[in-house]
């Protein structure tokens, strides 16, 4: 397809941009955006409806809700970006989407503590080892964990709640091991009361995220790992609306000897380059 004169003019308009990276991104953006419009022969009514939709997405955002990240998530852009930027050796734990529910000042816990802090759900133990791709334990890794309760809500979604629940920070021991008590993860729908929900409904897509536990693990000399552990057998593993599932991140919560439900999961970090 020949380049449209308007596309050529729009590309040329960015020719005086001094930041070479910004110039490269905007030039590519204009070409792909125009190629999309030409590909579908976008009508003026569709153009206007699209801009109305994007406006509504922006206006749904506030200090607790980021509808544009949610839109990026359901279009696969978030997971594509994660994948492109976290290409690691096969031995290392894979990354997945960060999600909107991380908080910076989660409470600190000792190994063995209960991070649920009153969140409703079935009690369980989570345990494992943080190691490198040679199998060597990584001590003092900072392990951030967060999850929804059994009604599908994170603590930050509950206006009345004044303290953290089902989230916390702990450190791996000298031998790389860690363990904590929490609640078993359950599936939950992404927020459907905004324009992204309207999009999922119009396209008959499932809003249900398969049950998962979030982790961010940092250690000196290693790349930060942002990932989930998904629950084996969850019926939504094949239809995650944000495309976050990877087979290597699916694990089972099993019955331990004392009747306690246990999740065992080891994390393998990639050395910083």
List Cα–Cα distances, 114 to 42, 126, 147, 208, 221, in angstroms.
54, 10, 13, 27, 29
Quick one: which of 2, 20, 43, 63 contacts a second copy (CB under 8 A)? 43
Quick one: which of 63, 68, 169, 258 contacts a second copy (CB under 8 A)? 68
* Structure-token pair, residue 162: 């004044």
Buried b (16+ CB within 10 A) or exposed e, 239-263: ebbbbbbbeebbbebeeeeeeebbb
Please choose, out of 22-30, 106-114, 126-134, 160-168, the segment that lies near a second copy by the rule CB under 8 A.
22-30
- We find the least distance from the C-beta atom of residue 260 to a second copy, in angstroms, to be 36
* Structure-token pair, residue 188: 């939950």
Q: Which residues pair with 146 in a beta bridge?
A: 167, 214
Residues 18, 6 contacting (CB under 8 angstroms): no
Quick one: which of 83, 157, 177, 264 contacts a second copy (CB under 8 A)? 83
Which has the closest alpha carbon to 130: 265, 270, 229, 267? 267
List Cα–Cα distances, 204 to 36, 77, 114, 241, in angstroms.
23, 19, 39, 11
Quick one: how far is CA 38 from the chain centroid? 32
Please choose, out of 72-80, 129-137, 209-217, 254-262, the segment that lies near a second copy by the rule CB under 8 A.
72-80
Residues in region 234-253 near a second copy by CB under 8 A: 239, 241, 243
Quick one: which of 80, 192, 254, 255 contacts a second copy (CB under 8 A)? 80
Owner of token pair 């080891």:
266
- Angle formed by the axes of helices 195-202 and 44-60, to 10°? 130
Number of residues in contact with a second copy under rule CB under 8 A: 66
215 binds a second copy (CB under 8 A): no
37 binds a second copy (CB under 8 A): yes
The values of phi and psi at residue 119, to 5°, are: -65, 145
Please choose, out of 15-23, 112-120, 132-140, 147-155, the segment that lies near a second copy by the rule CB under 8 A.
15-23
What x-and-dash track marks residues 192-211 binding a second copy by CB under 8 A?
A: ----------xxxx------
- We find the least distance from the C-beta atom of residue 105 to a second copy, in angstroms, to be 20
153 binds a second copy (CB under 8 A): no
Quick one: which of 16, 90, 134, 221 contacts a second copy (CB under 8 A)? 16
Nearer to a second copy (CB atom), residue 36 or residue 91: 36
By three-state DSSP, how is residue 212 classified?
A: strand
Q: Give the footprint of a second copy on this chain (CB under 8 A).
A: 4-7, 9-10, 13-14, 16-19, 22-26, 28-30, 32-44, 46-47, 51, 54-59, 61, 66, 68-69, 72, 74-85, 202-205, 239, 241, 243
């Amino acid at each position: 397809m020949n380049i449209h004169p308007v596309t050529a003019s729009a590309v040329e308009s960015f020719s005086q941009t001094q930041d070479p990276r910004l110039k490269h991104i905007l030039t590519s953006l204009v070409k792909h955006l125009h190629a999309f419009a030409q590909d579908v022969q976008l009508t003026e009514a569709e153009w206007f409806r699209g801009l109305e939709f994007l406006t509504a997405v922006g206006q749904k955002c506030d200090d607790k809700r980021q509808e544009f990240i949610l839109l990026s998530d359901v279009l696969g852009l978030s997971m594509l970006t994660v994948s492109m930027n976290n290409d690691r050796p096969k031995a290392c734990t894979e990354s997945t989407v960060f999600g909107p529910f991380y908080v910076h000042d989660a409470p600190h816990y000792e190994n063995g503590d209960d991070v649920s802090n009153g969140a409703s759900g079935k009690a369980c133990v989570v345990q494992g080892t943080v190691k490198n791709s040679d199998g060597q334990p990584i001590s003092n890794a900072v392990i951030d964990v967060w999850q929804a309760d059994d009604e599908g809500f994170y603590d930050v979604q509950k206006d009345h709640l004044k303290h953290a629940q089902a989230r916390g920070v702990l450190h791996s021991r000298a031998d790389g091991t860690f363990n904590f008590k929490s609640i078993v993860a359950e599936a939950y729908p992404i927020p459907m009361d905004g324009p992204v929900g309207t999009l999922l409904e119009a396209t008959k897509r499932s809003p249900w995220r398969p049950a998962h536990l979030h982790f961010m693990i940092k250690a000196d000399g290693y790349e930060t790992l942002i990932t989930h552990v998904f629950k084996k057998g969850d019926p939504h593993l094949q239809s995650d609306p944000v495309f976050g599932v990877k087979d290597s991140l699916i694990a089972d919560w099993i019955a331990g000897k004392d009747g306690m439900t246990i999740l065992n999961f080891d994390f393998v970090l990639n050395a910083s380059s």
